[in-house]
Structure 1
Amino acid sequence: MQIESIIKPDLAVQYRQQGFWSDKTLGQHFDGIVKRYSHKKAIIYKDQELTYRQLEERVNRVAACLIGAGLQKGDVLSVQLPNWPEYIYFFYACIKTGIAFNPIHVPYRKREVEFILRFSDSKAMVIPDQLSGFDFPAMIQEIWPRLPKLKQVWVVGDKVPTGMSPATELLNINKSSPELETTLAPQNPDADAPFLLMYTSGTEADPKGVVHSHNTIGSLGESITKGLGISSKEVVYTPSPFSHAMGILLGPWAAIYWGAQIVIQEAFVPEETLKLIQEHKITFFAGTPSHIVALLQVPNFSQYQLSSLHTFFTGGASCPVEVVREATRRFGCQVCCLYGMTEGVVTYTRLDDSPEVASETVGRPGPGFEINIFDEAGKEVPAGIAGEIVARGASLFLGYYRNPQATQETRSPDGWFLTGDLGYIDQDGNLRIVGRKKDMIIRGGKNIYPIEVEELIYAHPKIVEAALVGMPDHRLGERSCLFVVLKPGEKLTLEEVVEYLTEKGIAKYKLPERLEVRQELPMTPSKKIWKRFLRDEIAKILEKEPPPA
């Protein structure tokens, strides 16, 4: 896999000199963790428990089989699995062999999967036999004739069709541990080599392939470890899919990087998650605001002993102020709010930040990273002034795979990555998010930042979820439409919403001018509200209605 790096050569030299790039591969780091914690529990899944030594054995067996199947450094292995231990085996097998790991979201179907497999030139793939009644092998059989570079498909499960191979063969290779180590020794990938290919959620268009190296991801691990004081004593849990950056990088990868334990749950079921926290004394939870909301709504929440939990690390979407405060109060733990992107942009609040900072900002960059705010002309603006968030640092991605135009369009001449998000830096150096450029509503020439209204709306006693989007208007260009999900048995009118927001002191032009109540809101695979679909939906509704007088 070849890619032109977005990181300028002089910055790469700087990251090495400052120690943010160690030139140590993640496989070498993994080997060191195994030696240090060989008999310690690494993975807990249902009634299965694996020590670090047992995990290493399985990873090495899978790695040796991948090599035996003809995969080489730089080849791409695509994995479309739920949160299962097998996911981790393949992830670390790729890390140790130099094969590029390409996660695919489980909800994706043939259109998205075929696009990603073709665009990434995937040579092999791993899928479940079925999940939630869906036949994954049948999907691959349909699109495989159009994918000439796809040579091998492994299936996790019992139903393996002709032409595909059972994933169990990878774990049953007839080699001793010394033989496996001999097989893997020549691989020794380069720390600058691309190893992770993650496609963005593609909420606006076909997703882009984000490429990371061992150095960029290793820098991210060090940043969070030092910023939050994380140690091997943690028991980590994430409900986020491992195919999402938060799921894999703040779940099993982070836990193993720290020498901690990871508790795995195939699918997020709120009450079952509370049981896991209680049973395994989970200390570190990484998830989205929607996960926190769901846990807080469990009817018998107070029956569970949750005192082991000391940190909620939340990101993937803006976390409303009211949710942060309620989670802090009811769980008795610190909520750290993360601003992150697949591209490697990360800021976060710290454990010693005040509740106000944790609930109103997304904190500061970690070591080796920096952020700034640019105006529309690409010039830096003073603190307190909103503009586009730009970032650069040791954990920034290398570029977009086979898309040099997109890579160049998101890079400033002096190496800043243009995020497309809007925000400002307050007087204490904390980043405050205003919204996305594409989400901003322009009503009669006045800018409305949806997040400002949504944070107030989330505190309404009848509302569970909310999203403010622009709807077409012949006179003003756009007006605001508020989509909401209500608590069971509740009803809500637009008049109530307007009255509520007016009492909060919001400007009149920012008030929603239409209310749409739904049973649920569309979500991306990474559990962000899919606003593009909401904008399309309200536009289609308006097309069918008589034009305003």
Structure 2
Amino acid sequence: MSVAFTPWPAEVAARYRAKGYWTGDPLTDVVERHQGAAAEATAILCGERRFRYADVQRLSDRLAAAFQARGLLPGDTALVQLPNRAEFHILFFALLKCGVVPVNALNNHGAFELSAYARQIEPRLVVLARSHPLVAIDPAGSLPGSLTATLAGMVGPDRLLLLGDPVEDVVGAFAWADGQALSAAPDARPDHSVDASGVAFFQLSGGSTGTPKLIPRTHDDYLYSVRRSVEVCGLDAGCRFLCALPAPHNFTLSSPGALGVFHAGGTVVMAGDPGPATCFPLIARHRVTWAALVPPMLSVWLDAAPGTTADLSSLEVVQVGGAKLSPAVAERVPERLGCRLQQVFGMAEGLVNYTRLDDDPWTVVNTQGRPMSPDDEVRILDPAGRPVPQGAVGELWARGPYTFRGYYKADQHNARVFDAEGFYCSGDLVSMTADGNLIVCGRNKDQINRGGEKIDAQEVEDVLAAHPAVGHAAIVAMPDPLMGERSCAFVIAAPDTRPSELRRFLRGQGLADFKLPDRFVFVADLPKTAVGKIDKQTLRERAKSVPSQHAHTGTAQTEATAP
């Protein structure tokens, strides 16, 4: 059994193999390759717990064997939502080893998103953390309401696995919702040979048309992306990487992320959140050398650094990605944090760009880097599909040895975002410098990038439209100095409708909090284009001047976000 996906053409796959990009090794090779003398090296630090490479290998083997004993088969799918704990990585490797294909949801995703993922993949296994606010288990073991009951109804309590508080035996921290223990012999190993050309797991798209689409990533293409990232970034066994952004995020996982650090034989330090109050003491305690942040959190770090008593001198590189970084903020990194900056512009669909650590200061501050692979192919096209002149802005199209060839179960959408030659349209508006570095200028898709969290406007509009008082809604991005962009909802609604009422409704529908509009503007009508579509460009311009305090303007009422 296997998960169907759109493959690379045979001749293209053969070329990537001949060039050594695809090696036929499973993604778990990043840990398995360290089982000789390096097995005693520290792979993960999580709170007071230390996991050697030997521990990660043994524990993931044991988990994989337990899943196989439970009847899970290669090609089965799993829906996983875990916080930043060592168990996330151990579980991820276990699923890969027994051929189960996971979707790793972010910890801030709600019931709306998780239920949508479950409908797409029809999981045979669901893994959740008991500490998550949506997981409701009473002492008697019943599953009252909300997310837990919904997902248990899809897979059955005997396929719903819950992670409890940390214990000495990591496998023992997991338990089935039906009350049975998850158990396997300490030396148990999975019985399965992994096909590296098959799907290893699903990444989540940024979400440009409805609930984020699923991206099939193979062992071959993703492992190449990890290996090449390690080469470009120069990681070695001395690297200590702070995993502070969500562990499943493509940036944190593979650019070079935790998988890259594992491949290099370094150490991943788990952080519960990316705030300086959490991270600065961890940097000092564990002598962290690398960290990855989104621009809003970098700004918070820069503001906090002068007043901290924590020793940040071990920091060598701070990577910033997920959204465009302001040059003014970028320039402050060496002085405030005492380290180098590396800009990263990548996508879960594939293409990753890095500024190089030996680039000149102007390039590091003002560009988002250049493609990392010699076989990354980039086109920058105008709306008519013609290449733009060097330095001009156009839409980014890409293909290469780690850029996917189609979303899962999304044929109609794939037909719109891929051309006949297999180039993928990312929806990013970019320009290219004379030396091949990209400068991100915006988005061509109806998407809001809120501090690295991608919000699909249509998804939120569709949920909002289900409120009985709402006639129509249009959501656009508005500039924000800290987050880059925030969301503004222009709403046609019944008189006396309040933003607080609409936010409660959206939360009640299970929408993640970061997707709730930051601002509501109640209007009598919405502007239209010549063909009758909502004119979002006009709304974006209008959103720039929306006041931050309560205001009443006759046809519009504006209210700032309340907690």
How far apart, in 2, do the equivalents of 1:133 and 1:146 lie? Answer: 15
Residue 380 of structure 2 is aligned to residue 380 of structure 1: no
Q: Tell me if structure 2 keeps the 8 A contact 1:121–1:150.
A: no
User: CA deviation digits over 1:210-232, x for unaligned, max 9?
Assistant: 11000111111122111121112
How far apart, in 2, do the equivalents of 1:32 and 1:541 lie? Answer: 65
SS in 1 for 2:399: strand
* Corresponding residue for residue 500 of structure 1: none
Task: Look up the equivalent residue of 2:284 and give its one-letter code.
Answer: Q
Q: Tell me if structure 2 keeps the 8 A contact 1:479–1:513.
A: no
Q: How does 1:331-342 map to 2 (within 5 A)?
A: 331-342=337-348
User: CA deviation digits over 1:285-319, x for unaligned, max 9?
Assistant: 11211221121222754533212111111111111
- Tell me whether 408-417 or 142-151 shows the greater mean CA deviation: 142-151
Q: Following TM superposition, by how much is the alpha carbon of 1:418 offset from its aligned partner in structure 2, in angstroms?
A: 0.8
Taking structure 1 as reference, are residues 51 and 163 closer, same or farther at Cα in structure 2, changes over 3 Å only?
A: closer
SS in 2 for 1:319: coil
SS in 1 for 2:397: strand
Q: Tell me if structure 1 keeps the 8 A contact 2:96–2:200.
A: yes
- Tell me whether 243-252 or 473-482 shows the greater mean CA deviation: 473-482
* Corresponding residue for residue 193 of structure 1: 198
* Corresponding residue for residue 253 of structure 2: 248
How far apart, in 2, do the equivalents of 1:35 and 1:411 lie? Answer: 44
User: CA deviation digits over 1:460-498, x for unaligned, max 9?
Assistant: xxxx4443779865799566778xxxxxxxxxxxxxxxx
Q: How does 1:150-165 map to 2 (within 5 A)?
A: 152-157=159-164, 163-165=177-179
Q: Following TM superposition, by how much is the alpha carbon of 1:117 offset from its aligned partner in structure 2, in angstroms?
A: 1.1
* Corresponding residue for residue 323 of structure 2: 317
Q: How does 1:8-157 map to 2 (within 5 A)?
A: 8-131=9-132, 135=136, 138=144, 139-144=146-151, 147=154, 152-157=159-164
Q: How does 1:456-471 map to 2 (within 5 A)?
A: 458=481, 464-467=482-485
- Tell me whether 77-86 or 153-162 shows the greater mean CA deviation: 153-162
How far apart, in 2, do the equivalents of 1:358 and 1:217 lie? Answer: 26
* Corresponding residue for residue 279 of structure 2: 273
TM-score (norm 2): 0.77
Taking structure 1 as reference, are residues 8 and 145 closer, same or farther at Cα in structure 2, changes over 3 Å only?
A: same
How far apart, in 1, do the equivalents of 2:407 and 2:36 lie? Answer: 35
Taking structure 1 as reference, are residues 287 and 4 closer, same or farther at Cα in structure 2, changes over 3 Å only?
A: same
Taking structure 1 as reference, are residues 512 and 266 closer, same or farther at Cα in structure 2, changes over 3 Å only?
A: closer
* Corresponding residue for residue 297 of structure 2: 291
Q: Tell me if structure 2 keeps the 8 A contact 1:232–1:259.
A: yes
Q: Tell me if structure 2 keeps the 8 A contact 1:468–1:481.
A: no
How far apart, in 2, do the equivalents of 1:228 and 1:366 lie? Answer: 10
* Corresponding residue for residue 545 of structure 2: 514
SS in 1 for 2:118: helix
Taking structure 1 as reference, are residues 299 and 312 closer, same or farther at Cα in structure 2, changes over 3 Å only?
A: closer
User: CA deviation digits over 1:4-34, x for unaligned, max 9?
Assistant: 4253332212111111111111224421123
Task: Look up the equivalent residue of 1:242 and give its one-letter code.
Answer: A
Q: Tell me if structure 2 keeps the 8 A contact 1:200–1:209.
A: yes
Taking structure 1 as reference, are residues 380 and 333 closer, same or farther at Cα in structure 2, changes over 3 Å only?
A: same
* Corresponding residue for residue 233 of structure 2: 228
Task: Look up the equivalent residue of 1:243 and give its one-letter code.
Answer: P
Q: Following TM superposition, by how much is the alpha carbon of 1:391 offset from its aligned partner in structure 2, in angstroms?
A: 0.9
Task: Look up the equivalent residue of 1:232 and give its one-letter code.
Answer: A
Q: Tell me if structure 2 keeps the 8 A contact 1:232–1:260.
A: yes
SS in 1 for 2:377: strand
Taking structure 1 as reference, are residues 154 and 14 closer, same or farther at Cα in structure 2, changes over 3 Å only?
A: same
Taking structure 1 as reference, are residues 542 and 227 closer, same or farther at Cα in structure 2, changes over 3 Å only?
A: farther
How far apart, in 2, do the equivalents of 1:342 and 1:311 lie? Answer: 22
Taking structure 1 as reference, are residues 411 and 543 closer, same or farther at Cα in structure 2, changes over 3 Å only?
A: farther
How far apart, in 2, do the equivalents of 1:69 and 1:20 lie? Answer: 35
Q: Tell me if structure 1 keeps the 8 A contact 2:157–2:178.
A: no
How far apart, in 1, do the equivalents of 2:50 and 2:155 lie? Answer: 39
TM-score (norm 1): 0.79
User: CA deviation digits over 1:402-443, x for unaligned, max 9?
Assistant: 1122223221111211111111111111111111003699xx
State the number of aligned residues. Answer: 475
Q: Find the partner of 1:425 among 429, 432, 436.
A: 432
CA RMSD, aligned part only? 3.3
How far apart, in 2, do the equivalents of 1:66 and 1:16 lie? Answer: 32
How far apart, in 2, do the equivalents of 1:66 and 1:316 lie? Answer: 34
Task: Look up the equivalent residue of 1:544 and give its one-letter code.
Answer: A
Taking structure 1 as reference, are residues 294 and 78 closer, same or farther at Cα in structure 2, changes over 3 Å only?
A: same
Q: Following TM superposition, by how much is the alpha carbon of 1:55 offset from its aligned partner in structure 2, in angstroms?
A: 1.5
Q: How does 1:521-532 map to 2 (within 5 A)?
A: none
SS in 2 for 1:266: coil
How far apart, in 1, do the equivalents of 2:487 and 2:154 lie? Answer: 38
Q: Find the partner of 2:355 among 349, 353, 373.
A: 349
SS in 2 for 1:379: coil
* Corresponding residue for residue 445 of structure 1: none
Q: Tell me if structure 1 keeps the 8 A contact 2:233–2:357.
A: yes
Q: Tell me if structure 2 keeps the 8 A contact 1:473–1:479.
A: no
How far apart, in 1, do the equivalents of 2:339 and 2:223 lie? Answer: 27
How far apart, in 1, do the equivalents of 2:403 and 2:148 lie? Answer: 36
Taking structure 1 as reference, are residues 34 and 516 closer, same or farther at Cα in structure 2, changes over 3 Å only?
A: farther
- Tell me whether 466-475 or 242-251 shows the greater mean CA deviation: 466-475
Gaps of 5+ in 1: 442-449, 459-463, 483-509, 519-536
Q: Following TM superposition, by how much is the alpha carbon of 1:278 offset from its aligned partner in structure 2, in angstroms?
A: 1.1
